[in-house]
Amino acid sequence: MDNSEYRSEQPTAEQPTAEQVAAEQVAAEQVAAEQPTAEQPAAEQPTAEQPAAEQPAAEQVAAEQPAAEQVAAEQVAAEQPAAEQPAAEQPAAEQVAAEQPAAEQVAKVKILHSSVTESCHCTKGMEIKAGDNVIVPTRYGKELARVQCVYDRPSLDNRELQYIERKAHEEDLKRFKDFEPREESAFTTCRQKIREHGLDMKLVSAHYLIDEAKILFYFTAEARVDFRELVKDLVSIFKMRIELRQIGVRDEARVLGGMGVCGRDFCCHQITDKLKPVSIKMAKEQNLTLNSMKISGPCGRLLCCLAYEYDTYRAVKKKLPPEGYRFELDGITFKVTDINMFSQKVRLSGRSGKTLELDFQQFTRKNASGEWQILTGEKSDEST
C-alpha cells in the first residue's frame, strides 16, 4: 500500500475540516466573551449558556424603568412653588381662619350684691359658661358675681376690661351666705350711729367683701355729707376697714330690688346692664300720658322701660308724616292727628269733623320736593 492510500485511510478527525475550524473559532469567541473585563464585571455580562427566559425582555425592562416624560413631570412638580400647586393642596379659607388666634373671650357678669353688670376678660385656660359663679375685681374690691353670657369681643371694642380672678369655690359661696346676718347687724349699728351724729343721709345697705376685711356702706343724700366722725366710730366698733359710698336713687332701687307697676322685678335690678338716661321726650314720642305718677317708678325717676321702644318708635315715625301735617283731599284739608303703632293706622281729621284712617303703606314722600302724599289707589276708612 502506498503512501497516498495510507493518507486516505487516516481518520478524518485528525484533519479538521472547514466546519470544525469554524466551530472552534465560535467556541473561542464565546470563552472570550465569558471572561470579565476590567471595565465591566462578569455578572453584568450575560453568558450564552443562560436560558433566554432568564434574560428580561425589552418590553419588561421598559415597563420597569420609568418613562422619561413621567420622571420629568415629577421633577417639575417637585420644583414648583406652593402657589403653583393644585388648588386641593392649598389651605382653604376655613383652615387659614382656624389657624389664626382665637377671638378674645369676654364674659358679662352681674355682681350679686349690687346687681351691677360688668364685662370682664376670660382668663386664658379658664372654661366659663353662663350661670357660673366667679370672683371679679371691682372699683370697691373683689366681688362674687354670676356669669350671664360669654361672647367674642368685637375688634372695635377698645375698652379696658378687668380679668376674672377665678371661679368661685364652695367656701366662697358659704362665706357669702354667712355674711348676710353680719351685714344686717352692721346695717343696724351704722343706722344707729347716723342718728346719733344727726347726719342727713339714708343708709341703703351694708356689705362685706369676699376676699378683703372691709365693710361697704351705701347711702343716699341730697347734698354732700361730712361723715368723718361716723367712720371713726364704725372703725372702733368693727375693727376693720370702713368705706362709705354715696349713690343715687336709681342705684338704690337697683341694689335693693322690688316690684314695679307692671308686676315684675325692677328692670334696673333684674334686666338692664347700665342705667341709661330717660327723658320726658321718650314718653311724648310714644304717645304716653304725661302723668308723672304713671310714668315714674318707685325711685321717683322716669321708668327705665320708656327707653326700650323709643328707638323703634323713632325709626317708624321717620317713614310717616308727623302729627300736624296737612293734606288736601277732594278739596278738603286734613291734618294728621294720631299715629297708632299697634294698628298701623294714621288718623286724619278735617275741619268739618270728617276723619280718615289710612294704613302706613298709603303714605309716600315725593323725591323732588320731599313732600308727603297719599296713594289714592288704596281704600281708606272714613267716619264722621
346 & 302 share domain: no
- pLDDT (0 to 100) of residue 365: 82
- pLDDT (0 to 100) of residue 241: 93
Which range in 275-279, 369-373, 377-381 is most confidently predicted, on average pLDDT? 275-279
Looking at the domain assignment, is residue 61 inside a domain?
A: no
Q: Which is higher by pLDDT, 300 or 367?
A: 300
- 200 pLDDT band, cuts 50/70/90, is very high
**Mean predicted confidence (pLDDT) in 207-220:** 91
Point out the domain boundary residue: 281, 296, 315: 315
- pLDDT (0 to 100) of residue 147: 93
- Residues 6 or more apart in contact with residue 303 via CB below 8 angstroms: 260, 261, 267, 278, 295, 296, 297
Q: Which is higher by pLDDT, 95 or 118?
A: 118
Identify whether the C-beta of residue 111 lies closer than 8 Å to the C-beta of residue 139.
Answer: no
Q: Which is higher by pLDDT, 352 or 266?
A: 266
323 & 375 share domain: yes
DSSP codes, 113-175:
TT--EEEEEPPTT----TT-EEEEE-SSSEEEEEEEEEEEPPTT-----EEP-EE--HHHHHH
Report pTM: 0.60
Looking at the domain assignment, is residue 205 inside a domain?
A: yes
Q: Which is higher by pLDDT, 379 or 278?
A: 278
162 & 141 share domain: yes
Name all contacts of 368-374 with Cβ < 8 Å and 24+ positions apart. Answer: 372/321, 372/325, 372/327, 373/327, 374/327, 374/329
Looking at the domain assignment, is residue 4 inside a domain?
A: no
Point out the domain boundary residue: 285, 315, 345: 315
- pLDDT (0 to 100) of residue 167: 92
**Mean predicted confidence (pLDDT) in 21-42:** 53
146 & 194 share domain: no
pLDDT tens-place string over residues 332-364: 888 998 888 888 889 988 887 888 888 888 888
- 122 pLDDT band, cuts 50/70/90, is confident
Total number of domains in the chain = 4
Q: Which is higher by pLDDT, 244 or 95?
A: 244
306 & 337 share domain: no
Q: Which is higher by pLDDT, 1 or 247?
A: 247
Flag whether pLDDT at 164 surpasses 80: yes
- 35 pLDDT band, cuts 50/70/90, is low
Q: How far is it, in rounded angstroms, from Cα 185 to Cα 208?
A: 12
Q: How far is CA 337 from the centre of its chain?
A: 46
Q: Which is higher by pLDDT, 4 or 252?
A: 252
Looking at the domain assignment, is residue 5 inside a domain?
A: no
Flag whether pLDDT at 101 surpasses 80: no
Looking at the domain assignment, is residue 46 inside a domain?
A: no
Q: Which amino acid is at 267?
A: C
213 & 259 share domain: no
Point out the domain boundary residue: 122, 145, 168: 168
Range of the domain at 331: 319-383
Q: What percent of the chain has pLDDT over 90?
A: 24
346 & 363 share domain: yes
Q: What is the CATH number of the domain that holds 212?
A: 3.30.300
pLDDT tens-place string over residues 297-328: 888 899 988 988 899 998 888 888 888 888 88
Looking at the domain assignment, is residue 95 inside a domain?
A: no
178 & 242 share domain: yes
**Mean predicted confidence (pLDDT) in 250-274:** 86
> Which one, of 237, 225, 272, 228, lies nearest residue 251 by Cα?
272
Looking at the domain assignment, is residue 9 inside a domain?
A: no
pLDDT tens-place string over residues 40-71: 443 444 443 444 444 444 444 344 545 445 54
- pLDDT (0 to 100) of residue 220: 94
Looking at the domain assignment, is residue 110 inside a domain?
A: yes
- 382 pLDDT band, cuts 50/70/90, is low
The whole-chain average pLDDT of the chain stands at 76
Task: Write phi, then psi, for 225 (nearest 5 degrees).
Answer: -120, 135
Measured CA distances, 378 to 245, 355, 358, 362, 381 (Å): 62, 16, 9, 7, 10
Looking up cell 352681674, which residue turns up? 110
